[in-house]
Chain A
């Protein structure tokens, strides 16, 4: 059975770029897909290379735009609209899907060679030796980043090309989705605190939400300590300082002190919890490490937040009722 091939180019249109922006904003996250199957880029012949990608628009577009000026085949696997690395972890960018896709597209009859170039980050899902045994095609893992492909084709992979990093740019593009994910919760908390305590508590909630979702990814390597949660606690303490100082300066005597401490005890664990939840977005957190962090810090965060809540609530109720 041979499925007719599709045609693509290495040019990204204005519509592609709009789609990228929407994907980065988290708008209909699972709907940025391309049709799985075999694509012709340029005018590939029987000796042209075959690149394998996922059917997430950002993955496919990164690949095809990196192949500018080249004639090649692109084999798109059905990863349900998920990027290469995450799909490989899940197994949808996997051995079975690749083998089936190679057979369904009749790739053997289109090229004389028996080589498939896969993104290196597809490796958690694909057993190269099994693909060879089942299809005859040798899997060659290309670089981590599609933009390195031209250099890779010229002179092979360097150590740098094989390494995943997490530079500012890669962290910054995640911020909109992070903010969006806590958006409703943050707005609700801000409104509730505004009704209960006025502008300053509302601002504190908003600050904690933005610190955990926007500042934290941006500042990640600059924050001291090693794990995510303690980095989050450090950042949470820092952003709580202005609020603590405000209460010390405006509320009389011990009441200001209690509000100041209570604010830190509430803001720091909130930011730390959001920081802990960023582990899955990072490029280096291991399951063992994250599990350890959860067991080590969640009880601490809950204890901090509860004691902060009791301190602030008791003082607020007590002073307003004239008991204290």
Chain B
């Protein structure tokens, strides 16, 4: 018999079904970096905390996570490139990103 207990974290994070972006408002110190760096305006300024305004527009570039000083933002960042993923799958290598090996 298995115990069917849902995983509960100490504090709830805003997640969404479309991508790996999650936001823990309780850790936010409202520094404004996330909405400054987001190229798709996923975050918006809020009164006391940043606001996750449009999570569906996230492209998982990771800029918000990298620049969040309190770890309130988490995203499994990477490059959304089918060419790189297919090439990696075919050659059995680790997923490649842009750079010298890109598209060659």
A interface vs B, CB < 8 Å?
29-30, 80-82, 85-90, 92, 120-121, 123-129, 141, 144, 157, 159, 162-164, 177, 181, 228, 276-277, 279-291, 293-294
Contact = CB atoms under 8 A, between A and B. Distances in A.
Contacts of A291: 85
Contact of B100 (A30, A124, A279): A30
Contact of A123 (B57, B58, B66, B83): B66
B100 A162 contact: no
A287 B40 contact: no
Q: Which of B57, B82, B83 has the most CB of A within 10 A?
A: B82
A289 B19 contact: yes
Contacts of B80: 279-280, 282, 285-290
Nearest to A80: B100
Nearest to A228: B82
A202 B41 CA distance: 45
A280 B36 contact: no
A277 B87 CA distance: 10
A239 to B, nearest CB: 21
B10 interface: no
Interface residues on B, range: 35 or more
A288 B78 CA distance: 9
Interface in B63-82: 63, 66-67, 69, 76-82
Interface in B13-46: 18-20, 33, 36-41
Nearest to A140: B36
Interface of A: prevailing SS: helix
Contact of A181 (B18, B40, B103): B103
Most A Cβ at <10 Å: residue of B66, B100, B103: B66
B104 interface: yes
B6 interface: no
A80 B100 CA distance: 8
Contacts of A90: 97-99
Given A163-B39, A164-B40, A289-B80, A284 B85 contact: no
B86 interface: yes
A294 B80 CA distance: 11
B66 A82 contact: no
B98 A288 contact: no
Contacts of A29: 103-104
Given A121-B39, A128-B33, A163-B39, A289 B18 contact: yes
Given A123-B67, A124-B63, A294-B85, A162 B76 contact: no
